[in-house]
A and B are shown apart, each in its own frame.
Chain A
């Protein structure tokens, strides 16, 4: 729901980094998006195509690496993927759970020329 602002940030980061590398064109931007982060890749690509028009990022492909949710049990330290919306530790049935992975949203790398 807030992909427009997020995409503006992605374009800004990409243009800044490409400028520092004295690139003429951005070909591909690799993003890492956690499953829990709630961002919709198709929506980001849609905004990106509009926001990047007339810049060296125009036409760049966005590649999304999705990071599956991983949880950690606070009782027995087991790391597991939730099987459903109930966050219960499969090892000890504990219900005190913290998020280990899945909240990421970052620009990992870019391909430029």
Chain B
């Protein structure tokens, strides 16, 4: 019997594909934003709002990840330049998008005609934290009805985020959500993170979010 030293990251296979995706995207100067949240926090609604406000200025593609159905893809179809639906139900894993799924979705995206791709990840605060997709920016949406303790319960996804969106701000008078406590938890985990307070329903705060997205695409284009 002999012992072999290995020291190999188990997620390396995913990370290799993610960096391949990133190279392809950079070659075509496409900015990719990976949008993650619990189910029902408002990923699709925010994507729709973003499409409505930015579609005249950017060519936007959407990659929709869901365990099943094409409901979300149908919602964004008319506003986006291109939409690819990924159903994870028949994949080895259904709880998160993974780099290989994005690699195959990118084959169906007209990358030469696209400035920005919004990826709607599977609704889940645990698994998507572990899998890089090749994205440039990672965004987490938390909505008021979920409570202000999510960064404490699911720190990893907030640690790696570039931006956090606090959604459903119109519900603030009706729920016990301490914005200050939530912001302090996030700032503790991730001091450089951008935080947006908005409501996709009323449109309040969405403009500021869209400006941030525009800034990122400009920074991306000059890279």
Contact residues of A with B, CB < 8 Å? 1-2, 4-6, 8-10, 12-14, 17-18, 21, 23, 27, 31, 36-38, 74, 85-87, 95-99, 103, 105-113
Contacts and interface: CB of A to CB of B under 8 A. Distances in A.
B192 to A, nearest CB: 11
Interface stretch (B7-15, B36-44, B134-142, B202-210): B7-15
B99 to A, nearest CB: 11
Q: Top 3 nearest A-B pairs by Cβ distance?
A: A95-B188, A1-B95, A2-B93
Nearest to A26: B4
Chain B interface mostly: mixed
B2 interface: yes
Contacts, number: 103
B145 interface: no
Nearest to A25: B1
A36 B191 contact: no
Chain A interface mostly: mixed
B188 A107 contact: no
B95 A113 contact: no
Contacts of B127: 1-2, 38
A8 B187 contact: no
B187 A13 contact: no
A86 B152 contact: yes
Given A95-B184, A97-B188, A38 B4 contact: no
B2 to A, nearest CB: 6
Nearest to B11: A105
Interface in B162-191: 184-185, 187-189, 191
